[in-house]
Chains A and B, each alone.
Chain A
Amino acid sequence: MKSLAELAAIREKMQSKVALREGEASLRVVVGMATCGIAAGARPVLNAFVDGVNNANLTDKVTVTQTGCIGICQYEPVVEVFEEGKDKVTYVKLDAQKAAEIVEKHLKGGNVVTEYTIGAYKKD
């Protein structure tokens, strides 16, 4: 280690990797992974979120976790996005492709993908 810059580089690189343990990321993506969710294809959705967040370098800002049955099994796979100070957004009937879109538009861009939310789905 010949300079402080080298140390700072390691710190930067590693901080995102331990950030998970500090708990409070500003955005929380929760994927319903109960039997109903898994049967409806929640697993590829979870993978898509995990990969998407990673590829978009959002790991220090976003955590992806799973949860049990939310209670609206007919809409599975269901994903909820929690952001501090904002109303939670519930996405329904997702697949991997839609998940990638949500990462791009919502998590990265900050715009809710209204057409996949539960409100839009119910109107159909």
Chain B
Amino acid sequence: MKKKTTMTVTDMRCLAEGIYSMKLQYPEWDMPQEVKPGQFAGLYPNDPSKLLPRPISICRWDPGRGELRFVFRTAGPGTESLAALRTGDRVDMLGILGNGYDPEKLSGKRVLLLGGGIGIPPMVELAAVLSKLPGTEVTAVMGYRDSDLFLTKELSACARLLIATEDGSVGTKGNVLDAVRENDVRADVICACGPMPMLRAVKKYAAGSGVPAYISLEERMACGVGACLGCVTKTAKVDEHSHVHNARICTEGPVFEAGEVEIG
């Protein structure tokens, strides 16, 4: 059930340049029944000139504390106002949105998680969930710009972690696929989130190596619930909603099987 809920900030910190971690706690009586890795929520800046929620992926869900963790990059005044929140502040949230990854399809397999930049945070929840599934082997290959890393401790706690940096200051010099090749990582299935050029390369790599891949897409959104048709992606088959070739990223996505979407 989707809801607009007033959340309380329980933790706020800067992890790297322009990268912020925020924990939001639900009111006791208003918790979601289920949160899947790869799902997201819409956070509303406390600013009446800004009406749209900011779609931000869930980095961690702690059902015991009723607490969601978000790690986001500031990209403008809206996300900057979110970064300015402090412990105890209130923030409105629309959630839980999107489909997420399906752990059942990944269980018992060698799963390769690929995260690039601000696509890294949802991989933390996914790695944590997968690490509890029997026989599931998780390798996380994360791509950063430089040595200003974030979320590595969380990832290495539940996965074999490999790092790629654009400037070569840590791990493999290059992108996540360079690190996969350099370390000869073998996998049965890939889950990826990151910038579009990375996702295009992952889609090609997965098709070339005959491995299924689930990729999480991003687009400018308005409603977040599938009504406005703002955030669509081209699809190979006719989509279920509009019967054209445009699936709604907020509703049918953000996670798609790579073969379903035409991302060029």
Whether chains A and B associate is no
User: Residues on B close to A: CB < 8 A?
Assistant: none
